[in-house]
Amino acid sequence: EAGVVQSPRYKIIEKKQPVAFWCNPISGHNTLYWYRQNLGQGPELLIRYENEEAVDDSQLPKDRFSAERLKGVDSTLKIQPAELGDSAVYLCASSHQGDAFFGQGTRLTVV
Amino acid sequence: EDKVVQSPLSLVVHEGDTVTLNCSYEVTNFRSLLWYKQEKKAPTFLFMLTSSGIEKKSGRLSSILDKKELSSILNITATQTGDSAIYLCAMYSGNTGKLIFGQGTTLQVKP
């Protein structure tokens, strides 16, 4: 069974540029999470989807971050414009019954 | 507010030692507690503990959930250098559907 797939694996951009991350969850998993993880810290939730509905986006900085999950499967997370403080690893996870499996993550560096 | 706290934050041991990592939580409606191992980028799922499954074991790793004390431990026996990683504890809230992470314990196993 294929796991959670994320792309790209790495991204380096200049500040004020846009960037997008893509996630394909495990087949049949209705719940999808986007997390951000800074060095030395645990993952912090940005947004959670149940199917195509964003049920918790309270931690998403909506002035520059946006996300979508069309058709309740793949999801994209966008930052526009990026700031230096956005440098982090962005993790996508999918869940079925109280568990959660992560993709490889995207390491974003904003210079 | 739902919260997960891990201790210690870091730990250095020698090969062959046994280690115990701690996780305590506060939650309004507990559903499950998850343990992950994170070596490079993506957290790798280890165990899920629930009210009906309070003890799990896989090889040298084992975990116990204490619902009365609102805590869990992860034991690793006969540690190896390959056990060096960040160990993350996460709690799934049935009320909010949130998966909340602790800050992690960084384990270093020296030869």
In a structure prediction context, what are the per-residue pLDDT tens digits for chain A, which is 111 residues long? 679 999 999 999 999 999 999 999 999 999 999 999 998 889 999 999 999 999 999 889 999 999 999 888 999 999 999 999 999 999 999 998 778 999 999 999 999
Task: Using alpha carbons only, give the angle B103, A107, A67 rounded to the nearest 5 degrees.
Answer: 85
| Residue B34, pLDDT above cutoff 90 | yes
Q: How far is B64 from chain A (nearest CA, A)?
A: 16
* Cβ–Cβ gap A89/B50 under 8 Å: no
pLDDT at site B68: 87
* Cβ–Cβ gap B41/A104 under 8 Å: yes
Q: Residue B82 — φ and ψ, nearest 5°?
A: -70, -10
Q: How confident is the model at residue B13 (pLDDT cuts 50, 70, 90)?
A: very high
B88 → chain A, closest CA residue? A42
Give the dihedral sign, CA B53/B71/B58/A97: positive
Distance from the Cα of residue A84 to its chain's centroid = 18
Q: How confident is the model at residue B42 (pLDDT cuts 50, 70, 90)?
A: confident
Q: Which residues of B touch A41 (CB under 8 A)?
A: 103-104
Q: What is the CA radius of gyration of chain B?
A: 13
Q: How far is A93 from chain B (nearest CA, A)?
A: 10
CA–CA separation, A74 and A80 (whole Å): 20
